[in-house]
Amino acid sequence: MATVSLESLKKSYGKTEVIHGVDIEISDGEFIVIVGPSGCGKSTLLRMVAGLEGVSEGEIRIDGQRVNEKEPMDRDIAMVFQNYALYPHMSVEQNMAYGLKIAKMPKAEINARVAEAAELLQLEPYLKRRPRQLSGGQRQRVAMGRAIVRRPSVFLFDEPLSNLDAKLRVQMRLEIKNLQRELGVTALYVTHDQVEAMTLADRMIVMNEGVADQIGAPLEVYANPQTEFVAGFIGSPPTNFIEAEILGAPAGTKIGIRPEHVAIAPVGQGRTTGLVLYAEPLGAETLIHLTIAGGNAVTVRQDGAVAIPSEGEQVGLSWREDDEMRFDASGRRL
Ligand SMILES: Nc1ncnc2c1ncn2[C@@H]1O[C@H](COP(=O)(O)OP(=O)(O)OP(=O)(O)O)[C@@H](O)[C@H]1O
Ligand SMILES: [Mg+2]
């Protein structure tokens, strides 16, 4: 178990800076999710903590100790990747034992650790099988077993579930969370999937082009996004953005309003008028897509039991002023 701190962490490739200074103090046993779109720097940040990428500026400390110059093997971390790359010619048992064998650990200790990990991951029936004789979820579990046997202080995950189908992803997500709690280990987990981030994280780092736009607990970030980018990225369907002039507010501002906070109202009532393009009835809820003056697209998310307006119909759109989020031209929350 360990604390991890990142201080003004920067990374450049040649003259191009891709991480522009990230700061966070991670508590012992905390589950941190790094979330953001493709290319925003998630893997780079994680790989710096792992020691697989050099640090250009700033400091990484694990349990208070600077690790910038330490080799990956000496950082007391273990990493699980999207491409878990098991050795195809080795059994499950041998795959899990391999790293320890290389580290010249006594055989009895290796066997004990592999047995313990296999039990924890419910891999006992498969120990003699080769990777190709396993399902995707079982293979992912072997990859985690390989990390667990090292008994690291910090677990690093880079999109470990993106090769799995949707159902298995949900199941494995739960398993990872339970495992992390059970082992009490500090975890940094990279994903571009905001649902995965919301459900796994104690706190998340929302990355936007190499900048940590916001760091906070999932529901806190959802309820109180500090930038237009975070408001648009966290929450599904995404926040609606409307030019303020349309609503009679000062120009140069943008208003964000979440689909679940907008309701269909009779024409003439509500804040503005919209034209219904189409509706998506999903059972429990319905998504209604509209355009309003100036061509702004708006999505309304309403309860599945509420009447759905017809395509081409003009309707009013209402919301509580308290639910409005205002952003300046640079995307900062006002
Ligand atoms: N070895 C490298 N040399 C030059 N640029 C790189 C290198 N590795 C990454 N980059 C650049 O750094 C930026 C961040 O890349 P990174 O792999 O961290 O993104 P990511 O958030 O993990 O994206 P994804 O979700 O697609 O995996 C990208 O613009 C990428 O092109
Ligand atoms: Mg990546």
CA–centroid distance, residue 143 to ligand 1 (Å): 23
**How many angstroms is it from 208 CA to the middle of ligand 1?**
12
Mutation test residue for ligand 1: of 34, 44, 196, 211, the one with most atoms within 8 Å of CB: 44
Regarding the beta carbon of 279 and ligand 1, being less than 6 Å apart is answered no
CATH code for the domain in which residue 315 is found: 2.40.50.140
How far apart are the C-alpha atoms of 191 and 187, rounded to whole Å? 13
Q: Give the C-alpha separation, 27 to 174, whole Å.
A: 21
Q: Could you tell me if 8 and 156 lie in one domain?
A: yes
> Is the Cβ atom of 39 under 6 angstroms away from ligand 1?
yes
Which pLDDT value is given to residue 151?
Answer: 87
Query: Is residue 224 very low, low, confident or very high in pLDDT (cuts 50, 70, 90)?
Result: very high
pLDDT score recorded for residue 294: 81
Q: Are 10 and 45 contained in the same domain?
A: yes
Give yes or no for residue 248 having a pLDDT over 80.
Answer: no
* 40 in contact with ligand 1, CB cutoff 6 A: yes
Q: How would you classify residue 165: left for phi > 0, otherwise alpha for psi between -120 and 50, otherwise beta?
A: beta
Asked whether residue 140 is domain-assigned, the answer is yes
* Ligand 1 centroid distance, CA of 11 (Å): 11
Domain annotation covers residue 212 = yes
pLDDT band at 262 (very low <50, low <70, confident <90, very high): very high
* Least confident stretch, 98-112, 196-210, 236-250: 236-250
Residue 18 has what DSSP assignment?
Answer: E
Per the model's pLDDT, the better-predicted residue between 325 and 161 turns out to be: 325
Q: How confident is the model at residue 82 (pLDDT cuts 50, 70, 90)?
A: confident
pLDDT (average), residues 218-244: 95
Which of 201, 232, 263 is a domain's end point? 232
Does residue 106 sit in the same domain as residue 124?
Answer: yes
Q: Is 18 in the pocket of ligand 1 (CB under 6 A)?
A: yes
pLDDT in tens, 30-80: 999 999 999 999 999 999 999 999 999 999 999 999 999 999 989 999 998
Q: Does 24 share its domain with 136?
A: yes
Confidence check: pLDDT of 221 > 90: yes
DSSP for 133-164 reads: GS-HHHHHHHHHHHHHTT--SEEEEESTTTTS
Say which residues have a Cβ less than 8 Å from residue 177's Cβ, sequence separation at least 6. Answer: 31, 199, 200
SS3 of 55, please?
Answer: coil
Residue 238 has a pLDDT of 94
Mean pLDDT of the chain: 93
- Indicate which atom in ligand 1 lies nearest the CA of residue 207: 21
Neighbours of 89 (CB within 10 A): 9
Distance in Å, CA 160 to ligand 2 centroid = 11
Q: Judge if the beta carbon of residue 43 lies within 6 A of ligand 1.
A: yes
Residue 254 lies in a domain: yes
Q: Are residues 243 and 224 in the same domain?
A: no
pLDDT surpasses 80 at 143:
yes
* 320 falls within a domain: yes
In this predicted structure, what is the pLDDT of residue 243? 87
Q: Annotate 208-255 with DSSP letters as a single string.
A: ETTEEEEEE-HHHHHHS-SBHHHHHHSSSSPPEEEEGGGGTSPTT-EE
Residue 72: asked if its preceding bond is cis (omega within 30°), the reply is no
Rounded Cα gap, residues 322 and 40, in angstroms: 31
Burial class (CB in 10 A: 0-12, 13-18, 19+), 71: exposed
pLDDT score recorded for residue 328: 92
Residues 251 and 109 in one domain: no
Q: pLDDT at position 137, please?
A: 84
pLDDT in tens, 116-132: 999 988 899 999 999 99
Question: What is the 82 CA–ligand 2 centroid distance (Å)?
Answer: 9
Q: Mean pLDDT throughout 196-203?
A: 95
Structural domain span for residue 313: 237-327
Give the pLDDT band (50/70/90) at residue 29: very high
| Total count of domains within the chain | 2
Q: Which ligand is nearest to the CA of 47?
A: 1
Residues 210 and 247 in one domain: no
* Best residue for ligand 1 mutational test, from 33, 34, 40, 188 (most atoms within 8 Å of Cβ): 40
pTM to 2 decimals? 0.91
Domain membership of residue 169 (yes or no) is yes
Q: Is the confidence at residue 183, as pLDDT, over 90?
A: no
Q: What is the CATH number of the domain that holds 71?
A: 3.40.50.300
Q: Is the distance from the beta carbon of residue 191 to the nearest atom of ligand 1 less than 6 Å?
A: no
Q: Let me know whether 9 and 142 are in one domain.
A: yes
Q: Which ligand is nearest to the CA of 53?
A: 1
Confidence of residue 244 (pLDDT cuts 50, 70, 90): confident
